[in-house]
Structure 1
Amino acid sequence: MSTTTTWTVSGMTCGHCEASVREEVGEIAGVESVTADHATGEVVVTSTEPLQRDAVAAAVAEAGYELA
């Protein structure tokens, strides 16, 4: 059973920002899909199990942004 979680990311301003966040978050074990919207700051992650906030925050930070 998949879990879908919406996170808020600050600092995204364009499509390139979205792609960076999608790429880094997508590398977390168990992640099935990631969408990002810089206009709303929302990142929606579908995974095989609930993700730890610290793991998502670290991936977002690696992309150069901050989990709100």
Structure 2
Amino acid sequence: MTETRRYSVTGMSCGHCEGAVRAEVEQLPGVTGLQVSAETGRLEIAVTDSAALTDEAVLAAVDEAGYDAVRAS
């Protein structure tokens, strides 16, 4: 079963920013797909193993890319 998680990301302004976030987040365990938009500041992640992927890991990956994020509803 796939779960979709949504996050709000601040500081992104272009495709390069999107690529930096994508490169970090897609390496996380359980991530099967993602969409990231600098225009809307949204990150959506498709997760197959929700127990293996914590919000803290996602936020740390976004931080590693140089941006701030919070879990969105």
Q: TM-score range by the shorter chain?
A: over 0.9
* Mapped partners of 2:64, 2:43: distance in 1: 15
Q: 1:66 aligns with which of 50, 65, 68?
A: 68
In structure 2, what is the equivalent of residue 57 of structure 1? Answer: 59
Q: Match for residue 41 of structure 2? A: 41
The answer for unaligned runs of 5 or more in structure 2 is none
Over the matched positions of the two proteins, sequence identity in percent amounts to 43
Q: TM-score, normalised by structure 1?
A: 0.93
1:19 maps to 19
Aligned length: 68
Which shows bigger deviation, 28-37 or 44-53? 44-53
**TM-score, structure 2 normalization:** 0.87
Supply the RMSD in Å over aligned alpha carbons: 0.9
Runs of 4+ in 1 over 3 A off after TM superposition: none
Q: Structure 1: give runs of 5+ residues left out of the alignment.
A: none
